[in-house]
Structure formats: structure tokens, C-alpha cells
Amino acid sequence: MVATPDLTIAVGLSGGVDSSVAAYLLQKQGHHVIGLTMQIWDGSLPLTDEGLSGCYGPGEPRDIAAAKALADRLGIPHHVISLAPEYNTEVLDYFRAEYRAGRTPNPCVRCNRTMKFGMLLDRARAMGITFDKFATGHYARVGQDPATGRWQLRRSVDPAKDQTYFLSRLSQAQLSQVLFPLGGMTKPEVKAIAREIGWDDVADKPESQNFIESKDYGVLFGEQEQEPGPLVDTQGKVLGQHCGIIHYTIGQRKGLGIGGTVDPLYVVRIDACANTVVVGAYSELFSTRLLATDLNWIGLPAAPARPLRVQAKIRQQHKEATAVIQAVAGTDTVDTLFDEQQMSITPGQVVVLYQDDLVLGSGIIGAG
């Protein structure tokens, strides 16, 4: 989607190449551009600064300084929006609750819906910062269907960088005010633009990390939330002891502490009520079915009345697979049946439903 000239556009600036080039392109098109950066780190967790750029961690002041420096290069205003308490509640508390329930959440998807495309814009406007549209450096495309008036989310032209998975929980109201200037470009093209304008340092900057830089999620939980329990096979035989269900996810092989088995074992199920981790053979990781709840429809106004063939993506790094979805009468649930078995369908993760490059909607994976 190309914005009408002379708009005031707020850009979510991270200091990385994607958001920086997005801001540059919008400015070059004749728009009045301002930069917004979320401040969400409050120092309350014992995380070590590993020198990485990430969306949450002790390196945040360095990233904010980088965003400010890019805004200065562009000659645009830059505002830091403090949202640490809100992030703790909306993202960290959600993350903890899901892991305690034996599910594996996606905090980045949650953050986009509630924070980056939600509270960030609300807080900025409450502070008197006015703008017509909000843009980010995400690789995705957005536009309005002239026939239905619905806002549509489509894949980026660069399949290797497509980020529609992370944006699949955005509402119609949120999509109506966003721009993705990089949706029609590839990552090499974006880096080339940065180099053309003398931003070699930005083009060479490493990719930012998602969520916690160190990936040590244990720091989010107290000792009482890491209670050991039985580690059993699918027949209920106790094979050992786990060190707290929060440390495990479906498909996990390493760190189980089980020796002497003929074949490798994998986590196939987590029973939070019984505080039990269930392991099984590789073949037991595969399934052809999942139930998706808490649906967010984008390309459709509601769940389809009849079975519909789609492509379903069960995690960001998963190649979408052909499936048939059918609404479960009287519920906010869709039954998804794959043509072929899928590995490690994980409760708590997001499943995104596509038809070609169009995002039909998404849901949270529940039981199969």
C-alpha cells in the first residue's frame, strides 16, 4: 500500500536497517516522518547484557540510542514511549501463565497486537503526538479489499523474510492505520539502499534477537514455579524427573536427563495439572490434526460456513502445509485436518491460515 503524499507518519524505530530504511523511504516520498521507540526494559530481571540487540533486555538503552541517532540522520523528531509496566503485564505475565499451563506461547505475536500496534500508538497520541499512519520495517503487505472493504494482510514478496506470521493477530482497526514500506522489497534490496545513502554501519548491523536476548526463560519464574515432577513415557512408566515443566516444550530432545534408551526420546506432551512431562519416540511427535481457538479473522469476516482448503503454518520456521479447516458449531474453534502429518504441533503456539499470499486469519493451537 502506498500512502498519499504529505501525511504525517509515525515509524516504529529500532535502530536496525529495516525500520531505518522504512523511515527513509517514507520521507523520500514526501511525508512528514516522526520516530517512535518503545521503552520496555525496567531492570527487574537478572539478565546479563550480552551485547546483542533485542526487543527486551538490558541492551535496550543502546538500541534506543541507535534509534535516536538514525532519527538525527534523517532530521526527524524522535520520541521514546515508556511502556515497561504495560509490557510486564501484557507480555511477560502472559508468557509465564502459558508456560505454567504447559503451553508454549509466542510473545512476539502477543507484543505486536497489544503493545507495538496498540498501546504504543495510544500512549503516543495521549502525549499529544499526532500522526495519520503508523509504519514499521516488517516484511508484509497491507491493503483494502475494494469489494468488501476489509483490510487484508498479505505475504511479503521476499519469502525468506516474510513476517505475516507475527502480524496475524492484528485487528481490522490496527491494519487500517499501518504501512509496511518494505513489503514489496527483499532484504538485500533494503541493505543496498542503506549502503547507497552511506549507512554502511546500519546495513552491517546484526539482526536483532526476538524477546529475551539470552533465551534463558528460567529467569522469568520463581523457584516455586519450577517444581520437579515425574518424566514418564506414553504408557505412564516413570523414566526420571523433570526440573519444572516451564523448561520443556513439545519436540524437545536435549536436556531430558534420560540415559540408557535404545532410541532417542522427545517431549510429546506436557500435563500441567499432574506436573508431568511425557516423552515418546520420534514417530509420536507427528499428527494430522489440531484445534485452533481464539480466532482472529482478517481475510474473512468470520469462520467459513463450510469446510475450506487452506495452507496452515504452525510456527514461524515451519513450511505451511495444506489442510482443511471447519468451524466447530457453537464455539470459537476451528478444526484443522492436514493432508500430511505435521511434526510437533505445539499447544499455545499460533497457527496462521493462508490462501496463497493472503492471510485468512490465525488462532491459538489447543488440543489435537
Which of residues 44 and 185 earns the better pLDDT score? 185
Give me 349's grid cell.
Answer: 503456539
Residue ending a domain, among 265, 280, 295, is 280
SS3 content of the chain, % helix, strand, coil (to 5): 25, 30, 45
Q: Are residues 166 and 188 in the same domain?
A: yes
Task: Determine, yes or no, domain membership for 2.
Answer: no
Q: Are residues 100 and 186 in the same domain?
A: yes
Task: Determine, yes or no, domain membership for 1.
Answer: no
134-181 per-position pLDDT tens digit: 999 999 999 999 999 999 999 999 999 999 999 999 999 999 999 999
DSSP, collapsed to helix, strand or coil, labels residue 342 as strand
Task: Determine, yes or no, domain membership for 138.
Answer: yes
Q: Are residues 98 and 205 in the same domain?
A: yes
Give the residue numbers spanning the domain of 290. 285-365
Q: Are residues 292 and 188 in the same domain?
A: no
Q: Are residues 38 and 174 in the same domain?
A: yes
Q: Are residues 233 and 348 in the same domain?
A: no
Number of domains comprising the chain: 3
Tally Cβ neighbours within 10 Å of residue 296. 17
Q: Is the pLDDT of residue 268 over 90?
A: yes
Please tell me the distance from the alpha carbon of residue 337 to that of residue 214, in angstroms, as a whole number: 36
Q: Are residues 272 and 182 in the same domain?
A: no
Residue ending a domain, among 234, 263, 280, is 280
In sequence order, which ranges of the chain are alpha helices (DSSP H)? Answer: 17-28, 60-74, 84-87, 93-100, 107-111, 120-126, 164-167, 172-175, 187-196, 200-203
6-59 per-position pLDDT tens digit: 899 999 999 999 999 999 999 999 999 999 999 999 998 888 887 777 788 899
CATH of the domain at 157: 3.40.50.620
CATH of the domain at 315: 2.40.30.10
CATH of the domain at 252: 2.30.30.280
CA torsion 333-337-338-342 (nearest 10°) is: 70
Q: Are residues 242 and 304 in the same domain?
A: no
208-219 per-position pLDDT tens digit: 766 664 556 778
